[in-house]
Amino acid sequence: MGLTDDNPLRAGMDRVRALFVRDPHNPILQAKDIDPRFKAVCNPGAHLVDGDVLLLLRGIDPDNHSHLHVARSADGVTNWRVEPEPLLSPLQPEHGWYDEWGCEDPRITYLDDLQCYVIVYVGWSRYGAGVCLATTTDFKTAKRLGMAIHPYNKDAALFPRKIDGKYRLLHRPTAGPLENIWVSESDDLVHWGNPKCVLEEADQPGWDSGKVGAGPPPIETPDGWLLIFHGVQQVDGGWLYRLGLALLDKDDPSRLIGRWPDWVFGPDAPYEFDGHKPGIVFPTGAVVKDGRLMVYYGAADTCIALTTASMAKIQVLDHEHQVLMERLSEESRRPTTDAEREHGAPNGGK
């Protein structure tokens, strides 16, 4: 069933595209807000902490090393209070860590059973990029847990609770030309295994045919886990990064319930093109505040911006999409009638 004007998916795509609105204060944070020497700030983790929106910013120094700084704001938009000293900075391998060249692209999850926040970030070193974990209770100090998943792995996000007795972690390994989203499980946050592919790159020339990667930690909804992910398409000018939505099964997040076929938010504003890497919106943090889904993203790998949507409307669309996909799946399994074979079957025609 193609995406023709009368396809029911088309109306849903137009509605969800209209949901996400750029904040008029964008870009909400720039490198000068952290350190005047820094080249860029981007790709922040986000969480609600003591009534504030807390961002964990990736600041890039003149030597291209990335540090993670804490910033707080009452409204999540303005009057940011940025800690001058980083919470996490690169350490040499002789100290037992694998982030000598940078601590990058953090995601933040609070685990109620451990009563702490878990920071999942990319450790970059001479050995490649791997998934590292650290914990904190106050964002004043952090305890490194080390590398959880070896290189080459990026775009990792931890689910906010155990599922069937296991912690679950989304991550994106590179396997030759393939860069798909996987999920692994653990009993202790240190040893990870039983990996399963959750979401694959789309076929060419799709908007997400180059690679896909998890965005912020999944958000639990009545219909499943809402996953915001980035999809990448190779174009004449380089790589174009855009946002997509998917829904994972609440009891088995390795099972994909639904995936919107089109992107829902993409680069358009000048600050999303005027930077180190033009054409990139890279979501890594999200909070739900006063019924609004606030998605924080790196723009052009240079600054931080915000887009918002109604959480209630997204949940309605997720539910409608789930029902629609079930109906389309039933239609595809229905035997073709003689009349449909003569005039063109809706479940088999192109």
The answer as to whether 309 is a domain residue is yes
Cβ atoms of 205 and 217 closer than 8 Å: no
**What is the structure's pLDDT at 8?**
43
**What is the structure's pLDDT at 261?**
85
For the chain, give percent helix, strand, coil, nearest 5: 15, 45, 40
- CA torsion 50-51-52-53 (nearest 10°) is 100
Rounded to an integer, the average pLDDT of 283-290 is 97
Rounded to an integer, the average pLDDT of 180-198 is 98
| Neighbour count for residue 297 (Cβ, 10 Å) | 29
The answer as to whether 169 is a domain residue is yes
Task: Write the DSSP string, 221-240.
Answer: ETTEEEEEEEEEEEETTEEE
The answer as to whether 349 is a domain residue is no
The answer as to whether 88 is a domain residue is yes
Is the pLDDT at 10 greater than 80? The verdict is no
Rounded to an integer, the average pLDDT of 20-36 is 96
Both structure tokens of 74: 């009452």
Is the pLDDT at 279 greater than 60? The verdict is yes
Record the pTM. Answer: 0.89
3-state secondary structure of 289: strand
Looking up residue 145, the CATH number of its domain turns out to be: 2.115.10.20
Both structure tokens of 66: 């990335």
Is the pLDDT at 331 greater than 70? The verdict is no
What is the Cα–Cα distance from 184 to 140, expressed in whole angstroms? Answer: 29
Q: Which long-range contacts (CB under 8 A, 24 or more apart) does 244-250 make?
A: 244/207, 244/208, 244/212, 245/16, 245/314, 245/318, 246/199, 247/221, 247/223, 247/318, 247/321, 247/322, 248/198, 248/218, 248/224, 249/224, 249/225, 250/163, 250/220, 250/223, 250/224, 250/225
The answer as to whether 147 is a domain residue is yes
Give 17's Cβ-side CA count (13 Å radius): 12
**What is the structure's pLDDT at 319?**
66
The answer as to whether 314 is a domain residue is yes
The answer as to whether 4 is a domain residue is no
Range of the domain at 308: 9-334
Number of structural domains (the chain) is 1
Average pLDDT, the chain: 88
Rounded to an integer, the average pLDDT of 130-153 is 97
Task: Write the DSSP string, 153-201.
Answer: EEEEEE-SS-BTTBEEEEEEE-BTTB--EEEEEESSSSSEEEEEEEEPP
Q: Which residue has the higher pLDDT, 182 or 340?
A: 182
8-state DSSP, 300: T
Is the pLDDT at 217 greater than 90? The verdict is yes
Rounded to an integer, the average pLDDT of 243-250 is 96
321: pLDDT confidence band, cut at 50, 70 and 90? Answer: low
Is the pLDDT at 16 greater than 70? The verdict is no
What is the Cα–Cα distance from 173 to 204, expressed in whole angstroms? Answer: 20
Cβ atoms of 199 and 208 closer than 8 Å: no
3-state secondary structure of 8: helix
The answer as to whether 132 is a domain residue is yes
Rounded to an integer, the average pLDDT of 188-201 is 97
**What is the structure's pLDDT at 318?**
67
